[in-house]
C-alpha cells in the first residue's frame, strides 16, 4: 500500500503531520546528500556537486523502500578551490557540526536508517569522522555513507568502451562530471567552454600539494580531466553504470 499522499520523497515537501503519519507507517529511512558550491572549470556551474548530491540522494530515497530525502547540504569543504571566483567553503568543523545536527535530528524523530551521499571528495574525511562517532553514540541506528565505493572498477570498464583514459574521465570536473551535470541540468552548462584540464600523472604527493597550495597550482582552468566530448547522453551512460553499484553498496550496508 502506498501511503504517500504526495508524489515526492522530499521530507520538506510534507507537513509535520504527514511526516508523523509516514513514520508511524514504516518510513524509517532518511537520505541526504552533501555537495559543494565550488568551481568546476569555465563551463560548469558552481552548483555541480550540490546538484549531483541532490539528484543522487533523490534516486536513493526513491529506490529504497519507505525512504525520504532530507534537504541537501549544498556547501561543503572546498578550501583548495578558493582561488577561483565564487567558491564558498565551510570550515571542516562547521561541516561536521551540520552533519552532527542532521543526524541528531533524525534520531530524535525515530529514523533508524540514515544514508548519506557525498558528491565531493573534500567532504569525505569530515563525514567519515562524524559517522564513526555518531554510530558509536547511536548503536540502534544504522548510518551509512556513500562516496564512490566500488564505482571506479565499473567506470573503468565504461572508459575502455568510450576509449577514454582514467585521467580524461577525471576526478574533478572531468568527462564524467561534465556529462553528469549536462544530464541533470544541460541549460546550466556552457558547451562552448568544455575544456581539457590537467590530465598528467596523479600521485598522493600531487593530491597533498593540491590540498595545501590550492587547485590552481595544478590546473589553471580548474579542471582535472578532459570535458571535451562530454554530453547529456554520456551522462546517462555514466549514471546507468554508477546507479546499480551505488544501490548495491548501500543496500548491502543497510542489511549488515
Helices (H), ranges, 11-123 = 16-24, 48-63, 92-108
Least distance to Zn ion from the beta carbon of 152, Å? 15
Give how many residues touch Zn ion by CB under 5 A: 2
Please answer whether residues 9 and 29 qualify as being in contact, where contact means their C-beta atoms are separated by less than 8 angstroms.
no
Q: How far is the CB of 41 from Zn ion (least distance, A)?
A: 10
| CB nearer to Zn ion: pick between 49 and 226 | 49
**Using CB under 5 A as the criterion, what x/- string covers residues 114-153 for binding Zn ion?**
----------------------------------------
CB of 95 to Zn ion, least distance (A): 16
* DSSP code, position 71: P
- Do 5 and 44 meet the contact criterion of CB atoms below 8 Å apart? no
CA distances from 16 to 13, 19, 76 (A): 10, 5, 28
Minimum distance from residue 255 beta carbon to Zn ion (Å)? 30
CB nearer to Zn ion: give 49 or 54: 49
How far, in whole angstroms, is CA 188 from its chain's centroid? Answer: 18
Q: Residue 30 or 44: which CB sits closer to Zn ion?
A: 44
Among 49, 84, 224, 230, binds Zn ion (CB under 5 A): 49
Q: Which residue's Cβ lies closest to Zn ion?
A: 49
Residue 183 burial (C-beta neighbours within 10 Å; 0-12, 13-18, 19+): buried
Helix, coil or strand: residue 146:
strand
Only one of the segments 42-50, 75-83, 135-143, 146-154 lies at the binding site for Zn ion (rule: CB under 5 A); that segment is 42-50
Distance CA 38, CA 16 (A): 33
CB of 40 to Zn ion, least distance (A): 6
In the complex, the residues that contact Zn ion under the rule CB under 5 A are: 48-49
Amino acid at each position: 500500500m502506498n501511503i504517500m499522499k504526495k508524489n515526492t520523497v522530499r521530507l520538506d515537501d510534507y507537513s509535520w503531520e504527514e511526516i508523523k503519519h509516514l513514520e508511524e507507517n514504516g518510513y524509517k529511512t532518511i537520505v541526504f546528500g552533501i555537495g559543494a558550491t565550488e568551481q568546476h572549470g569555465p563551463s560548469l556551474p558552481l552548483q555541480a556537486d550540490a546538484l549531483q548530491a541532490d539528484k543522487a540522494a533523490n534516486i536513493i530515497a526513491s529506490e529504497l523502500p519507505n525512504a525520504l530525502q532530507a534537504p541537501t547540504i549544498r556547501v561543503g569543504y572546498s578550501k583548495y578551490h578558493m582561488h577561483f571566483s565564487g567558491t564558498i567553503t565551510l570550515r571542516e568543523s562547521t561541516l561536521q557540526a551540520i552533519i552532527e545536527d542532521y543526524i541528531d535530528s533524525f534520531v530524535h524523530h525515530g529514523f533508524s536508517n540514515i544514508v548519506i551521499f557525498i558528491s565531493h571528495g573534500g567532504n569525505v574525511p569530515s563525514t567519515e569522522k562524524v559517522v564513526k562517532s555518531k554510530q558509536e553514540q547511536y548503536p540502534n541506528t544504522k548510518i551509512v555513507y556513500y562516496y564512490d565505493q566500488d564505482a571506479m572498477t565499473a567506470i573503468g570498464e565504461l572508459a575502455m568502451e568510450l576509449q577514454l583514459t582514467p585521467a580524461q574521465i577525471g576526478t574533478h570536473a572531468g568527462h564524467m562530471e561534465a556529462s553528469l551535470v549536462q544530464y541533470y541540468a544541460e541549460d546550466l552548462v556552457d558547451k562552448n567552454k568544455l575544456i581539457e584540464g590537467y590530465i598528467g600523472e596523479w600521485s598522493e604527493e600531487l593530491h597533498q600539494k593540491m590540498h595545501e597550495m590550492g587547485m590552481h597550482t595544478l590546473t589553471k582552468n580548474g579542471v582535472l580531466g578532459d570535458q571535451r566530448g562530454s554530453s547529456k547522453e554520456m551522462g546517462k551512460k555514466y549514471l546507468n553504470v554508477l546507479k546499480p553499484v551505488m544501490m548495491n553498496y548501500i543496500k548491502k550496508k543497510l542489511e549488515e
